[in-house]
Structure 1
């Protein structure tokens, strides 16, 4: 058993339970997140028939008592209340995060005993057990390096195996078991690089890729993290979902890197937090209903709170780029003191007007051109029609993504010419932006492939393509089985904005998630019929590959097809590349 396994299993702390309460496993917070910008531990408690204020008051009392007994008088206690439960958290030193889990569980043990009038363990003994884990986990050399890095104004990234100081070309990495003394570090060779975080319900992948393209156009070695891979230049470091802090650390430790573009998703923010507090810029593209019900994030405004955690990554002079056209983004912006650069499709948006009046940077569209206001003067950057991603202006969501990337690029200090070159050179194809409204030609017809899967993204794609002239329209629809019946019906109704002549409903055997084969297709068919379609306009397929094949063999010159692909992506793309 290695050291980490020993720490993870060092203690088993039982607490009183009841049928109307559920406590999820405590987890480590390694950086800024939904609750605050501190490392520590958090636990999610769900209940019915209990006053949340009673739970949080008990937490404040018992967590504070445990922290003080552990000698962590300088550490903090916090909580967040949501419908049906609370998040309970403590902060802890960076070298004590496994101990922090046991400290949080100990505090909850005494909270539960008081809530349920149950017997509690011996306080001194339980605290002594946690202190034993603390002694095993303690790493004074790490704390010394953290303090020294802060004094030198350079970022430090920590995980179970490695510690690094600085980013990219200015970074150095050590094993956590072989850390140097601060005086033995060559601080002159360590520095931070321009870093941007991009989040949102939709558009974050495209915005991240577009920002990286702009950075490349400036001659810099740029890299990105995403839900698909980590890449530096043309070199893919690893494939997989790297939208969490692990992907960020992998990217920022690459010695070739000069500019970092990090896509961050809700899951990584809520599970572990974000990897740094030294970002030059961050963006929230939008907030919409998607993946609710995890970690106590049950509503769209609560999801906005989670997305806005990126503002806690910003260095003192960092920029937060925000979508002024999104109601949830506008509302949550009231809760941050960050330096906001608004962007909008409308030059007369009230927040854009206010920004110009107060001499604050912002970006917008005016008379068909992308414009940046630098606080003093308006600068025409590029005509919208010259940005291929916008499909001549039809893809309004991609105009917003371009505006977000523009703000981030300028906040990172990238030159205007690189901005123009990047925006003009980035294409909506399978090379530059795979899976995002990629266009193909087949038998004289236009075929678009998109990985959109939630109502917001599907609506954006369908609205954009519905404006294109077509002889006939075909759409392929499928949905993951873990969405509710209502969600599947709503997404289907949204997709019908594409005004298809033929709908092909397909099964997703790998995404049934508790449903029987045919259930989801039945819901798609029922919803389509309820919207006035005839049965002969609806086809069924057993897989995305079969559905794509059925559509492709029916296409004639002048037709348009939209393939919303959740699985079999490579097979579908291979058909179109053939």
Structure 2
């Protein structure tokens, strides 16, 4: 067994129960801190949901009893974007039988549908749980017992090592090839086929180490990079992950999206570092769960309507719960840093018992959540008299003026001020001194390599003293577009807007994004294809939907189309007026754009 059961395909007839996804959760997740198996379903019109869930509970209970297992069951109901009834069913399981637990969960779903008397009625399960004998009788459970025994044999000794480690407060990591104890230089790894017994482990040589988890719809990459700079100023050896790659000492060592559990393991097993800053994206948290079982600091910058419709998340409340996974595993002596400007994050936190104190941040010192936290003796970070300030009780500790932050564009980039507050609050939670925080805030963002792809300004001289400016940013959702539009308006220059969007959004969402582009008040808009992110769309489909949104929102300016990022820049420059700002959003073709800028004499400030 090398992976999860494959996703099912549509039946030729409308299924009563449709399996959307079935997978392992290897770490703390949206349901619980325990690993387990989860299955996402859609139930047909007229389905009796509660009766089906009761049959699933009975079936999986019978399966668990037959196999001699114990488990916790979790159920989450929702309505998808098409108004269909959906449900997630989770069964907790030990880490040495997650594949078998996934098949058991599928078997129980199929059994529940059979017991409805519909002979499966289109219920779709994986190849491991399909077939009349496997679905309809306890012969399936006999086979699953053999599957579980094989899986446990492959991971023999894992549970004993985990129990011994947790009894000693030693962290552990597990994947399909290796098991490790401890972090960083105090870490030791073994192949699963050659695990030692607990008595053979040199426990005195193993060490834990500080970990920070950073998540949010927007700002998590900038916050993580800035926090890495702060930690470096403190003299710490930092490893951090992001959607762009894996970094050690702020140097890119591996490109790609490393925001899942694999990225966490790569950093935590690296002996060169002593602090892990792990950007944790929605996809990894929902697909597998958190990559670690605890952290010193958890950061949630914000939650916005982006990537809804995947892994059973269809509204802001569920998205906040998904991002909130990182907060539920914070150490009791650690900190949970939350963005008070995000109503969804505030609502999620209310009445929730979290394991560590909350530190709120907001660019608005009069924010109601901040005022309540201060009244209760909490620590908050905000802006007072244009200074980054830490407040607690009657105490106030100013750090530096926002104009001193290169990221802030003189204070116009409010979203980056919020990112600075989040990073500073997280640094404080890691025990980093104010002097290191100030030094990094005053430095980070001054060089293009500090924060590639995020709010980077370039300029080029033309005839005489005329200059044209170019602003590059990765804004790709409504919240990100709003933040960048605020920055562009604050710069006070007429603008041309070059933008493209990935194809994995609905027509309605693309039109809504198009309408949001009017906030930039652009003189001209150049719409382009995202060639590498068509994601199921045909070429030529997405830009017209964006244009329709613009026109429906009342935009009367010029709109033209381009094939890619470089072509859109060429068109913008050819038609640029004196002292105009060109804005390029969703900057994904970095190498091509960088080469083009170099050839045409652009310089970065």
TM-score band w.r.t. shorter chain: over 0.9
1:64–1:77 CA contact under 8 A, matched in 2:
no
Task: Quote the residue 2:50 is aligned against.
Answer: 53
1:38 counterpart = 2:52: no
1:169–1:255 CA contact under 8 A, matched in 2:
yes
* Cα distance in 2 between the residues matched to 1:52 and 1:382: 56
User: 1:116, CA displacement in angstroms?
Assistant: 3.9
* Cα distance in 2 between the residues matched to 1:476 and 1:252: 39
Residues 315-354 of structure 1 aligned to structure 2 (within 5 Å): 315-334=331-350, 336-338=352-354, 339-354=357-372
Task: Quote the residue 2:464 is aligned against.
Answer: none
1:373 counterpart = 2:395: no
* Cα distance in 2 between the residues matched to 1:93 and 1:479: 41
* Cα distance in 1 between the residues matched to 2:218 and 2:555: 29
2:511–2:546 CA contact under 8 A, matched in 1:
yes
Task: Quote the residue 2:67 is aligned against.
Answer: 70
1:22 counterpart = 2:38: no
* Cα distance in 1 between the residues matched to 2:5 and 2:410: 58
Unaligned runs of 5+ in 2: 80-84, 121-131, 462-466, 600-605
* Cα distance in 2 between the residues matched to 1:442 and 1:531: 33
Task: Quote the residue 2:167 is aligned against.
Answer: 151
1:52–1:81 CA contact under 8 A, matched in 2:
no
Task: Quote the residue 2:526 is aligned against.
Answer: 504
Residues 430-445 of structure 1 aligned to structure 2 (within 5 Å): 430-443=448-461, 444-445=467-468
User: 1:519, CA displacement in angstroms?
Assistant: 2.9
1:280–1:317 CA contact under 8 A, matched in 2:
yes
2:529–2:564 CA contact under 8 A, matched in 1:
yes
Larger displacement relative to structure 2 (401-410 or 99-108): 99-108
User: 1:193, CA displacement in angstroms?
Assistant: 1.3
1:33–1:272 CA contact under 8 A, matched in 2:
yes
1:50-104 CA-to-partner distances (Å, cap 9, x unmatched) read 232222222222222222221212x211111111211111111111111111221
Aligned counterpart in structure 2 of residue 131 of structure 1, from 145, 164, 168: 145
1:450-506 CA-to-partner distances (Å, cap 9, x unmatched) read 121111101111111111122x31110212223222222221222221111121122
Residues 183-332 of structure 1 aligned to structure 2 (within 5 Å): 183-332=199-348
User: 1:543, CA displacement in angstroms?
Assistant: 1.7
Secondary structure, counterpart of 1:163 in structure 2 = strand
2:424–2:437 CA contact under 8 A, matched in 1:
yes
Q: Residues 42 and 526 from structure 1, CA distance in 2 versus in 1: closer, same or farther, beyond 3 angstroms?
A: closer
Larger displacement relative to structure 2 (177-186 or 223-232): 177-186
Q: Residues 335 and 225 from structure 1, CA distance in 2 versus in 1: closer, same or farther, beyond 3 angstroms?
A: farther
Larger displacement relative to structure 2 (106-115 or 259-268): 106-115
2:228–2:250 CA contact under 8 A, matched in 1:
no
Task: Quote the residue 2:478 is aligned against.
Answer: 455
Secondary structure, counterpart of 2:511 in structure 1 = helix
Secondary structure, counterpart of 1:319 in structure 2 = strand
1:429–1:438 CA contact under 8 A, matched in 2:
no
* Cα distance in 2 between the residues matched to 1:208 and 1:482: 26
* Cα distance in 2 between the residues matched to 1:152 and 1:373: 36
Give me the CA root mean square deviation: 2.2
User: 1:447, CA displacement in angstroms?
Assistant: 0.9
Secondary structure, counterpart of 2:321 in structure 1 = helix
2:511–2:549 CA contact under 8 A, matched in 1:
yes
Secondary structure, counterpart of 1:345 in structure 2 = coil
1:370–1:381 CA contact under 8 A, matched in 2:
yes
1:261-320 CA-to-partner distances (Å, cap 9, x unmatched) read 111111111111012122001111111111111121111221111111112322232321
2:238–2:250 CA contact under 8 A, matched in 1:
no
* Cα distance in 2 between the residues matched to 1:117 and 1:206: 53
1:277–1:315 CA contact under 8 A, matched in 2:
no
2:171–2:181 CA contact under 8 A, matched in 1:
yes
Task: Quote the residue 1:399 is aligned against.
Answer: 417
2:215–2:299 CA contact under 8 A, matched in 1:
yes
Task: Quote the residue 1:89 is aligned against.
Answer: 90
1:428–1:436 CA contact under 8 A, matched in 2:
no
* Cα distance in 2 between the residues matched to 1:412 and 1:577: 40
User: 1:376, CA displacement in angstroms?
Assistant: 5.9
Secondary structure, counterpart of 2:333 in structure 1 = strand
Task: Quote the residue 1:358 is aligned against.
Answer: 376
How many residue pairs end up in the alignment? 567
Larger displacement relative to structure 2 (417-426 or 510-519): 510-519
User: 1:374, CA displacement in angstroms?
Assistant: 4.3
Could you state the TM-score of these two structures normalised by the residue count of structure 1? 0.93
User: 1:196, CA displacement in angstroms?
Assistant: 0.8
Could you state the TM-score of these two structures normalised by the residue count of structure 2? 0.89
1:429–1:437 CA contact under 8 A, matched in 2:
no
Q: Residues 26 and 523 from structure 1, CA distance in 2 versus in 1: closer, same or farther, beyond 3 angstroms?
A: closer
